[in-house]
């Protein structure tokens, strides 16, 4: 057995395990991306595993947000972007309010909904945080990008916030900032997510070095990352022979976790471009059993049906992903829900769930890239092209899940 290094032990004792709200996030300045577009990414972990997209028209700006499939969707949004090219996400920090006995808490979703409805720039968001009555009721890293080239985290507690600017070369020489479940300006002895931070840092710095910052590679590098930064286990190595092998592994402190419920990647508009060029990719449901779907605010309220909230507040693709997830985590008693059957996900026969979905995903990225390359920058024709693409996405995803798994996405 390999001995753990002193650094590894320090990571453990620093609180790397045990958290529930375990989001892994990053943002990147457009000054350092190949096309000049800023990036905002969130792998969401939560106790509410049913997530959906909703198009909101209740503010100064229209916006698309990720919401929980429950009544709180009307007042809480867990990440999204708006018609002004402004986008926001969060990760719980756990170390911005050390020693604070304030009872007000868990208002992060309300803050993000307010920001999407009213903010166009980082300056707007800063003013909003400054003007809000205190205590705000948050302990979070809010990641924000805008159409003016802004990209920053706001490490925010009940009474104050600190801006960490991705455009500051002294702080982010490559324009990249990563946050899991601790703020860098908070108490360094408190917080979570250190193991996932190390995995994300390694993967993203490799993507930067190779200039592979396209959405497909970023999803695979983060939300499909099966390398554990502490134990050095990589589930993509030494695959089980077949899906019937029943090879279980304790699936904690990888970037995707049993509590991972959705993923968002906002590709913002380049500085000076029309905000309608901003768009968002989402993985609705467990990241290892779903496929990516792109959306644009500029296309209006009609979105792909597979990721949109239905009357029962669920998104069909999220439900389908949850059905497949239960095959990966079939043990429900005791600690069983933390053990994943790797053979059902990946195997040498290439019959694992993720392996079956890869061709579907490849086609989605290919067709979307073709559409974007020929799409007008704005206007009625742009909207018509996007809506036609939505129809293709729905049809392709519904057909694929039916043929591959016998699952009705409806």
CATH of the domain at 233: 3.60.60.10
pLDDT at 16: 39
Positions in the chain short of pLDDT 50: 1-19
pLDDT at 22: 86
Residue 263 domain-assigned (yes or no):
yes
Domain that holds residue 179: 6-405
This prediction has a pTM of: 0.94
pLDDT at 20: 56
pLDDT at 188: 82
Residue 37: partners with Cβ closer than 8 Å, 6 or more residues away: 30, 267, 268, 269, 270, 277
Residue 197 domain-assigned (yes or no):
yes
Residue 66 domain-assigned (yes or no):
yes
pLDDT at 410: 93
Residues in the chain: 410
Residue 354 domain-assigned (yes or no):
yes
What digits encode the pLDDT tens for the residues 90-131?
A: 999 999 998 899 889 999 999 999 999 999 999 999 999 999
What digits encode the pLDDT tens for the residues 79-101?
A: 999 999 999 999 999 999 988 99
Residue 1 domain-assigned (yes or no):
no
Residue 172 domain-assigned (yes or no):
yes
Say how far apart CA 350 and CA 118 lie, in whole Å: 47
pLDDT at 201: 98
Residue 162 domain-assigned (yes or no):
yes
Residue 53 domain-assigned (yes or no):
yes
What's the domain count of the chain?
Answer: 1
């Amino acid at each position: 057995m390999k001995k753990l290094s002193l650094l590894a032990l320090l990571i453990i004792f620093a609180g790397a395990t045990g958290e529930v709200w375990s989001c892994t996030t990053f943002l990147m300045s457009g000054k350092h991306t190949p096309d000049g577009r800023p990036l905002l990414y969130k792998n969401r972990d939560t106790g509410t595993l049913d997530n959906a997209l909703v198009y909101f028209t209740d503010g100064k700006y229209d916006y698309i947000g990720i919401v929980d499939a429950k009544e709180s969707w009307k007042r809480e949004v867990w990440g999204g972007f708006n018609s002004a090219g402004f986008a926001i996400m969060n990760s719980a920090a756990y170390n911005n309010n050390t020693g604070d006995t304030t009872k007000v808490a868990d208002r992060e979703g309300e803050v993000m909904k307010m920001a999407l409805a009213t903010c166009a720039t980082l300056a707007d968001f800063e003013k909003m945080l400054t003007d809000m009555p205190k205590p705000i009721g948050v302990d979070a890293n809010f990641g924000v990008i805008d159409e003016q080239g802004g990209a920053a985290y706001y490490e925010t507690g009940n009474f104050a916030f600190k801006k960490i600017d991705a455009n500051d070369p002294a702080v982010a020489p490559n324009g990249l900032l990563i946050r899991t479940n601790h703020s860098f300006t908070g108490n360094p002895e408190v917080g979570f997510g250190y193991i996932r931070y190390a995995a994300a840092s390694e993967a993203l710095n490799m993507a930067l070095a190779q200039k592979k910052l396209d959405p497909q590679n970023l999803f695979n590098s983060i939300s499909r990352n099966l390398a554990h930064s502490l134990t050095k286990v990589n589930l993509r190595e030494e695959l089980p022979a077949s899906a019937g092998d029943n090879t279980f592994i304790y699936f904690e402190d990888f970037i995707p976790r049993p509590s991972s419920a959705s993923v968002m990647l906002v590709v913002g508009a380049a500085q000076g471009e029309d905000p309608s060029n901003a768009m968002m990719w989402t993985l609705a449901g467990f990241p290892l059993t779903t496929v990516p779907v792109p959306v644009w605010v500029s296309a209006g309220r009609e979105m792909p049906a597979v990721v949109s909230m239905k009357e029962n507040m669920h998104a069909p693709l999220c439900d389908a992903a949850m059905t497949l997830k239960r095959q990966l985590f079939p043990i429900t008693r005791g600690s069983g829900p933390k053990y994943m059957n790797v053979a059902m996900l990946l195997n040498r026969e290439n019959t694992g769930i993720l392996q079956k979905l890869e061709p579907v995903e490849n086609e989605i990225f290919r067709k979307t890239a073709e559409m974007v390359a020929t799409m007008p920058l704005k206007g009625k024709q742009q909207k018509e092209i996007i809506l036609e693409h939505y129809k293709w996405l729905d049809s392709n995803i519904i057909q694929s899940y039916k043929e591959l798994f016998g699952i009705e996405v409806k």
